[in-house]
Structure 1
Amino acid sequence: MAKVFNDEIQIRLRRNRDALAISGSMVIALSIWDIIKLYIGLFLGEETIAQLIGTVMEQSGSAVIGTEYEKTVSVFLWVMILLMIQLFSVAVFLYHLYIGLNAFRDGRQTAGKQSNFYIVLTVFSTVFSGILLILNIMSLSKPSDPNQNVDVAFFVMEVTTLINYIYILTAVRTIRKLEKAEKR
């Protein structure tokens, strides 16, 4: 009887570890979507970078720097903003890469030392994703939004992201419980 119970635990452990590894890979793939979403918002959203730079230059550009340097300052602002966006994109990717790789390693049991910090980050990401989902629903409820199609795509991806994070947390919890039951 103990052998059958142990085999059942092994099957459930393997299934949950596979799910954790796949979900970890999905976090990495979805991080690329987050970066694309960032660029879509900044270049095609309601207020694009070009509009923001244009507003800054209109409000204080000519009076402060003079018309002869206006083009140079505009190029400088573009370079600085794009550099900040790139740095932020790298940080977002590395954040998701950390969560995804640790979930993958935990699922495949290849981690040298078991780290639980990625679980804390996953909880934070789940909450943040839930907030983004609520904001997206509020954005979809606007009757005359010209970006309706983009908002629907964002909504679908946010739902997918939230489900993936919840799945990671569920798989980790189930794996921990099954490992404890197996030791008994």
Structure 2
Amino acid sequence: MNLAYNSATLEDLNIIHEYEQASYHPDEAASREQLERRINYASQSGPELFTVCRNLDDNGKVIAFLCTTLTCADLVTDESMSKHDPEGKTICLHSVCVSPDHRKQGIATRLMLTWIEQLKKINAVNTPQKYKRIALLSRPKLVGLYESVGFKKIGVSEVVHGPEPWIDCILEL
């Protein structure tokens, strides 16, 4: 599969919203409005903050995405899930979603590794560093995926969102 990674646009919003709804419990999925705000935040703060993976063999169709906000906190908080702080140095990774038709093919891993490398390159040319770390909330069953791309498990999060507990994970940049 021939993949390309680039910034999300509002033209991608419908498919992004579809994948978000297919990937999370209804109490956890970001709304269409939240996703639209995150695309707009990224267009203002750094296009790398909302990245899509396109299948070039299928006319560039979006098959996966990841979206974030920025915070001044060290971990994802209730506030950082709904508020974007353009001065923040911690990237809060909110969603990593893959089309149901393309799951279990390593696409999420490739998307995250490509994205993390891009962030490191951005930091290498910015003094001081533009970003300090990436923080996320993971379900226990997905911690291994995040550890495989460099995240460290911190412990059970104080954030309560949806029916199951979340695990705090970070990757220092």
TM-score normalized by the length of structure 2: 0.28
* Structure with the higher strand share, 1 or 2: 2
Query: Highest CA radius of gyration, 1 or 2?
Result: 1
TM-score normalized by the length of structure 1: 0.26
**Relative contact order, CA 8 A, sep 6+: which one is greater?**
1
* Structure with the higher helix share, 1 or 2: 1
